[in-house]
A and B are shown apart, each in its own frame.
Chain A
Amino acid sequence: MRRLVLWVPLVVFLIFVATVAIGLYKPSERTIRSQMIGKQIPAFALPEAVPGKPALGSDALTSGEPRLLNVFASWCVPCIAEAPQLMELARRGVPIDAIAIRDRPEDVAKFLGRWGDPYQRIGSDRDSSVQLAMGSSGVPETFVIDGKGVIRYQHIGDIRPEHLPAILRAFEAAQ
């Protein structure tokens, strides 16, 4: 018994070393999920992000039909990567609204002209306040909002072709 106890400090030390080594060699890449999933979207009214495109308020997201809410920015490189997938979703009849983060109208217009425009409405969030209220921690992110305005699903990062089935499933489930 006493001999066994002698080994305890060494074992504790080895556990410590292993924990540190794992943390060093495989740093955790944390994505912070929104805690708002299953909750009502916060009330907001954003001005239009680009002339000629309707602005976005939370009332538009409680219209009775589920929608996608894409959080993007013209200065965000991965947002370009997901543009074809958003176009594909729009082509399949999925209604998509968007929030442009810290963006200028001329830049948004240029972005849409170059990479395509799958959006029905775009709200301009110049100080990220709606983004913070949604529990979103970066661009791009995509939320599925059901007809009553409840957040059902969050996709963090750019949408790649392999992510489409999961997003479509979440959209169907929100019907």
Chain B
Amino acid sequence: MRLLLIAAMAAVPAPVWADSLIPPAEYAYRQLPDPKLEAKAAALMHTLRCLVCQGQSIADSDAEMAGDMRAMVRRRIEAGESPEQIRAWLIERYGNWVSYAPPVEPVTWPLWAAPILLIGAGLYLARGRFRRKPR
């Protein structure tokens, strides 16, 4: 009996970070009527990071805050803002961290330079292999 109770308790984990009782925002789970605008919004949402479920984009996350962020993105796209304007607005508040598209700036130069350097190093190492053998 006690085992059964423990099993039942394990099966129903107590929510530690509860959710609110408010229904999701209008555009959290509803697409914009205009497919062109929706495509624009969706592309942006896939490159914005969810703040409470780090590692997911707001397009992938079911967190309430991600829903509110999706609603905000769709509302602003509908109002005529460009995706990059919305990204800039969020970066101003949360830093580059919120965006999955890293900007080119001194801190991120290594990130952009690494592939070029690695390919260069690879070519340098491989060059001996391609040299025509002396007869």
Contacts and interface: CB of A to CB of B under 8 A. Distances in A.
A35 B95 contact: yes
Contact of A133 (B20, B65, B93): B93
A105 B9 CA distance: 32
B18 A137 contact: no
Interface residues of A, number: 25
A133 B89 CA distance: 9
Contacts of B77: none
A104 B95 contact: no
Chain B interface category by residue count: 20 to 34
B22 A134 contact: no
Contacts of B97: 30, 32
B95 A102 contact: no
Interface string B98-112: 100000000000000
B22 A126 contact: yes
Contacts of B64: 102, 128
B93 A101 contact: no
B34 interface: no
Contact of B72 (A126, A132, A135): A132
B21 interface: yes
B21 A107 contact: yes
A137 to B, nearest CB: 4
Interface of B: 16-22, 25, 51-52, 54, 64-65, 68-69, 71-72, 90-95, 97-98
7 contacts: A30-B54, A32-B94, A32-B98, A35-B92, A76-B17, A104-B22, A127-B71
